[in-house]
Structure 1
Amino acid sequence: MRIVSATRDVDAPADRIFELIADPSRQPSWDGNGNLTSAEVGQRVRAVGDVFIMTISTGDRRENHVVEFEEGRLIAWKPSEVGRDTPGHLWRWELKPIGPALTRVTHTYDWTGLTDERRIPRAEANTGDRLLASIDRLAALAQT
């Protein structure tokens, strides 16, 4: 399956959860895939077209091109090697408030457009369990 997602209700307001996602420097603290090691402070995502840079577990840097954005509700990006076109996979976070301090969080990895055959084994390793692990870690941070 080339689209994998996980959903969980989190006991925290959507804006608090969104801040943890939209600030790349916070992402390594909740990444359930073990892919991210660091990102410089000051790259807070604010709009479609923004690009933020992460260092991944291999030590390489990745540009992340924001392709969907709605403040407090939706953010999605396509990663690429620095200075290269995106190979076509996408990470998406959707937040739906279902109460003042309760949010339905959906995390999706979509690799239907992946064009780089070398990346397919890594794409296949991104299971629903790994996506849920990211939501669980994000929830632990947002609920404190």
Structure 2
Amino acid sequence: MDQENVSATLTIAAPAASVFAVLADPATHAAIDGTGWVQEAVDRAPLTGTGQIFRMAMYHADHPNGDYQVANKVQVLDPPRAISWLTGQEKEDGRLEFGGWFWRYDLAPLGPSETEVTLTYDWSAVPQSVREYLRFPPFEPDHLINSLHHLAGLVSGR
């Protein structure tokens, strides 16, 4: 694959601020994801600024430990237009190391009660050493649109 990012777009019947509030709440991320990999928020505080770290409990059958944690670093926080984070891990010495991929949501209001949401997964900064043992993207093609449908369900349920 020559492309180093994938994206999907969905119109959600809710104001951008409502959609953004769900995205800025790490406790909703497992329900948005839908793969079963994201288990729960370890750090449950709302996302309020760039540079903020939030950890998530994860599970993947192909991971050496099965259960593990990721440390995400907020890269973009522009309410209610955009939110993005880098995914990495905390090393034994407490240092954070990021793998070179990020998640980004761009929100475009289409009126007072509709928002076009684009979800992008980008792995363009992943070093070759990581690409030798991880496949990118690590999910099926329909994962992003499914996640957006999960997000729409969460927003409408609030």
2:103 alignment partner AA: W
The alignment's TM-score, normalised by the length of structure 2, stands at 0.83
Structure 1 distance, partners of 2:43, 2:72, is 15
Q: Which residue of 2 aligns with 1:67?
A: 75
Structure 2 distance, partners of 1:35, 1:92, is 18
Displacement of 1:117 in angstroms is 2.3
Aligned length: 143
The alignment's TM-score, normalised by the length of structure 1, stands at 0.91
CA RMSD of aligned residues (A): 1.6
**8 Å Cα contact 1:11-1:103 kept in structure 2:** yes
5+ unaligned residues in a row in structure 2: which ranges? 60-65
101-110 or 54-63, larger mean C-alpha shift = 54-63
Taking structure 1 as reference, are residues 119 and 68 closer, same or farther at Cα in structure 2, changes over 3 Å only? farther
Structure 2 distance, partners of 1:119, 1:48, is 30
If you compute each CA radius of gyration, which structure gives the higher value, 1 or 2? 2
63-72 or 34-43, larger mean C-alpha shift = 34-43
Q: How big is each residue's C-alpha offset from its partner over 1:49-101, in whole Å with a ceiling of 9 and x where there is no partner?
A: 11100011132111101111102111111111113321110100111111111
Equivalent of 1:16 in 10, 15, 18: 18
Equivalent of 1:84 in 96, 100, 104: 96
| Secondary structure, counterpart of 1:125 in structure 2 | coil
| Secondary structure, counterpart of 1:89 in structure 2 | strand
Q: Which residue of 1 aligns with 2:119?
A: 107
Structure 1 distance, partners of 2:68, 2:104, is 22
Q: How big is each residue's C-alpha offset from its partner over 1:104-134, in whole Å with a ceiling of 9 and x where there is no partner?
A: 000000001112225531x323344101111
| Secondary structure, counterpart of 1:60 in structure 2 | strand
**8 Å Cα contact 2:83-2:104 kept in structure 1:** yes
**8 Å Cα contact 2:43-2:56 kept in structure 1:** no
How high is the sequence identity, in percent, across the aligned residues? 30
| Secondary structure, counterpart of 1:112 in structure 2 | coil
Q: Which residue of 2 aligns with 1:143?
A: 156
5+ unaligned residues in a row in structure 1: which ranges? none
Structure 2 distance, partners of 1:22, 1:12, is 15
